[in-house]
Structure 1
Amino acid sequence: MVFILGVNFPERNLVKKSLETFFGVGPSVSARLMARFHIHPTCKVGELANKQVLDLTAALSEMKIENDLRREILDNIKRLKDTGTYRGKRHAMGLPVRGQRTRTQIKTAIKLNRIDRKL
């Protein structure tokens, strides 16, 4: 088991997939981190040297990920609702915000926006 930012990862997992488990780290960010620390794309977590693990942990701790990013997103949505913008009203009603079709295909958007309406 290898600890990265306090999370246990089995040694057989790929480094790229392990990095992508963090909220806010997608395929492009994980590829950029791996290139920065000279980690091969097919490398497994167990094959990393201690220095590489420490470097990855330090780089991830400097980034805005997990709860900080979630809090920022919720604050942005709350700000839109408070100012009464069109997007804020759409968020509050649980409707699509980015111009998606609502005449026939609204059910998926309502399911996805259910989280935002709890605020």
Structure 2
Amino acid sequence: MIYLLESKLPENKSIYFALQYIYGIGKTRAFLICKKLGFSINLKVKHLSENQTVQILSLINSLNFVLAHDLKKLKIGLTKKLVSIKSYRGLRRTRGLPVRGQRTHTNARTARRIKNKFYVY
């Protein structure tokens, strides 16, 4: 099992899909990493050498991606800022209502479930 940026990469998956296990790397970034390093998308994680894992880490650092713990802190900080300046979106977050204009008569369960996840009052 290989650990990259606080994430476990499954050994039996291809590098393209395994990189998506890292918080902040999606399909586009995973494809970009594979393309820049010259890896086949079908290359399995268990076939990576130590040198190749170091190459992946150095490329991610050189591209200045905000990933994993830093990205989570950034997202929480942005939502706390919205709450602190009492913007419309911030007020909707504190009340546990949908933020982006969805209906509230029905189907607002997800927003209510997320309510207590980010905020400490």
Asked if TM exceeds 0.5, the reply is yes
> Equivalent residue for 2:25?
25
Q: Structure 1-normalised TM-score?
A: 0.84
1:15 aligns with 2:15: yes
> Equivalent residue for 1:55?
55
> Equivalent residue for 1:45?
45
Higher relative contact order (CA 8 A, sep 6+): 1
Offset of residue 6 of structure 1: 6.0
| CA separation of 1:71 and 1:35: change in aligned 2, threshold 3 A | same
**2:8 and 2:21 in contact (8 A); partners too:** no
Offset of residue 93 of structure 1: 1.1
Paired positions, count:
119
Amino acid at match of 2:107: Q
Amino acid at match of 2:32: R
d(CA) in 2 for partners of 1:66, 1:7: 8
| CA separation of 1:6 and 1:24: change in aligned 2, threshold 3 A | closer
> Equivalent residue for 1:107?
109
Amino acid at match of 1:39: F
SS at match of 1:115: helix
Alignment partner of 2:83 out of 81, 84, 103: 81
Gaps of 5+ in 1: none
d(CA) in 1 for partners of 2:103, 2:85: 25
SS at match of 2:21: coil
**1:16 and 1:34 in contact (8 A); partners too:** yes
Deviates most, 86-95 or 42-51: 42-51
Gaps of 5+ in 2: none
d(CA) in 1 for partners of 2:106, 2:51: 54
